[in-house]
A and B are shown apart, each in its own frame.
Chain A
């Protein structure tokens, strides 16, 4: 019953978690609206494709991808904290510039195929005959690891300092925290995560495309908000899990709109309608939500 269709949506939702987590770190924890991901997400895809074609193990490409994304985040960080450029603008500038960078990474072509090369899913392919199931297992495992790492990080001294910066910058400074350094760390990690998400998507699709990032941050924020609305407010770990939930639900909602057979030009509208319905239904039935 349409297994690959629904499973495909779940797989892509899992793979996208890195980007939604990135939005969580920047928009929520750090209170820094970061639009760099429109550039670092496809960068991750470009880097992984480039390296896989050169013969590198698809798993080994992931840390390299993270570093590449981190560099993009660092660029935004330097602009915002050292050059005094407004954070939103800095992110936009870097994202725009990344289009050219990504093209260069891909060797000047807009589309870089990796068909026939090993991916992170081929290893698990021996465990499950269905490639989508293999992908679900691998992406699922990676998502769990990333969530736990994110939770661990935010519980460390550095992580706590970062959360303080996002909540109250003046207080953070008065408590000896370098707000500039924290923003840099946050941007580097967030964009590393976004790049990872791009790498996973590219390995799943079988090719890298320079236009992968169009609208990425919007989808990430939508998924973030959906996750927050659906999950109970119960502390940091739940908030991070909500990120993954939101990412998967977002893709399932789009899949649902496709499944309903909506006219193609109305898919986006249909997606919005379904999300609105899901978010407001509790309110209609007179059940309140605890305020954040």
Chain B
């Protein structure tokens, strides 16, 4: 038995030795600047940000494989793996760490806060302030910067009141299993304090529950529906919009892409722009700029167009809601057609 254990340890050491000497992944063949990019988990918005970032880097002259090496990693939702990935980047002393996902930001900050390197650019983070990594755009660790994307919940509530002043009951379906969704609903509850609005919530944990969940809201008598940036809702937006159109209860959303699909009005941001801005930050850092001099960007405020108001006038007409000329003039995009059946 003891011999078996010795044999196994020997085998492990042997494999390790072969890999260490022969691995072409562990060491870069040529001394190119290295960007360590790590996503916490895979989801559609993250893909858009990543694509925007890589596109933006190329536009700035940094092409992966040619004059820069991009080490792509994904923790698939596992915290210890995410930690290990960042530790690898730190040991490798990568030139820039791009961390996507709030947990990644927390982890990256934790393992670099005492040493100040590698430099960090974050994206796909609701709020760097909420996680206490930074206090303001400029009051932050010197080696860290990035783009945050708080969902514009208060602005959306304001939009509802401006567009439908007589609306009182707002239906909110969401997946309580998604931390971001829970956050957003919490912020919605905060935002309606002091108004006469009432939030009617429905839990939808799976895509096949969306239709029934939304119909239950209609049955409970809502004047309008609030669509938060929720994975389950996003995945079954078709059935969600159908319920809205059939019952003539308008949808207010936070993602411009939903307006052509049937939402009546939206104040939101474009994920890809977050990626593009982050890419610009990375390029600047690679060219020698210090993250200390790059303030944190906030999508919807200082990154991307400040107003991403969008309306679907065809839907509004169907619902019997009049959207003022002034509002339409401020809009960044106007859809004129109902979504295809």
Contacts and interface: CB of A to CB of B under 8 A. Distances in A.
Determine direct contact between A and B, CB below 8 Å: yes
A110 B7 contact: no
Contact of A205 (B2, B79, B130, B182): B79
Contacts of A215: 77-78
Given A115-B109, A211-B179, A9 B26 contact: no
A201 B83 CA distance: 10
Contact of A261 (B7, B25, B177, B186): B25
Contact of A5 (B1, B84, B177, B180): B84
A4 B118 CA distance: 14
Interface in B285-334: none
A220 to B, nearest CB: 12
Nearest to B114: A131
Given A201-B79, A258-B85, A259-B26, A206 B72 contact: no
Contacts of B111: 4
A252 B324 CA distance: 62
B84 A16 contact: no
A215 B85 CA distance: 18
A4 B86 CA distance: 10
A100 interface: yes
A126 interface: no
Contact of B182 (A110, A234, A260, A282): A110
B163 interface: no
Contacts, number: 137
Contact of A113 (B23, B88, B92, B132): B132
Contact of A103 (B12, B25, B90, B182): B182
A207 B106 contact: yes
B110 A260 contact: no
Given A207-B110, A261-B26, A110 B179 contact: yes
Interface stretch (A31-39, A59-67, A85-93, A262-270): A262-270
B107 interface: yes
Q: Which of B7, B79, B92 has the most A CB atoms < 10 Å from its CB?
A: B79
Nearest to B78: A215
A189 B19 CA distance: 41
A205 B179 contact: no
A258 B83 contact: no
A105 interface: no
Contacts of A234: 1
B207 interface: no
Interface string A200-211: 010011110111
A258 B81 contact: yes
A5 B106 CA distance: 17
B11 interface: yes
A281 B11 contact: yes
Contact of B106 (A113, A211, A287): A113
B132 A12 contact: no
A284 to B, nearest CB: 11
Contact of B8 (A108, A110, A261, A278): A278
Nearest to B27: A261
B176 to A, nearest CB: 7
Interface string B170-192: 00000011011011001000000
Given A111-B103, A278-B8, A8 B79 contact: no
A287 B107 CA distance: 43
A205 B84 CA distance: 11
Given A110-B179, A115-B110, A211-B77, A8 B130 contact: no
Nearest to B102: A111
B32 interface: no
B12 to A, nearest CB: 7
Nearest to A277: B15
Contacts of B132: 113, 115
Interface in B122-149: 130-133
A175 interface: no
Interface string A89-121: 000000000011001000011110101000000
A214 B77 contact: yes
A290 interface: yes
Interface in A205-239: 205-207, 209-212, 214-215, 219, 230-234
Contacts of A206: 106-107, 109-110
Contact of B131 (A5, A207, A255, A258): A207
B110 to A, nearest CB: 3
Contact of A251 (B5, B80, B92, B183): B80
B51 interface: no
B74 A111 contact: no
Given A4-B91, A115-B133, A259-B23, 4 more contacts: A2-B88, A103-B182, A113-B106, A115-B113
29 contacts: A2-B88, A5-B87, A5-B91, A99-B176, A100-B176, A111-B179, A113-B131, A115-B106, A115-B113, A131-B114, A204-B83, A205-B79, A206-B109, A209-B103, A211-B179, A232-B2, A234-B1, A256-B16, A258-B84, A259-B25, A259-B26, A260-B23, A261-B71, A264-B73, A267-B74, A267-B76, A278-B12, A281-B11, A282-B8
Interface of A: 2-5, 8-9, 12, 16, 99-100, 103, 108-111, 113, 115, 131-132, 201, 204-207, 209-212, 214-215, 219, 230-234, 251, 254-256, 258-261, 263-265, 267-268, 278, 281-282, 287, 289-290
Closest 9 CB pairs of A and B: A261-B25, A110-B179, A206-B110, A264-B74, A8-B87, A232-B1, A2-B91, A12-B80, A207-B106
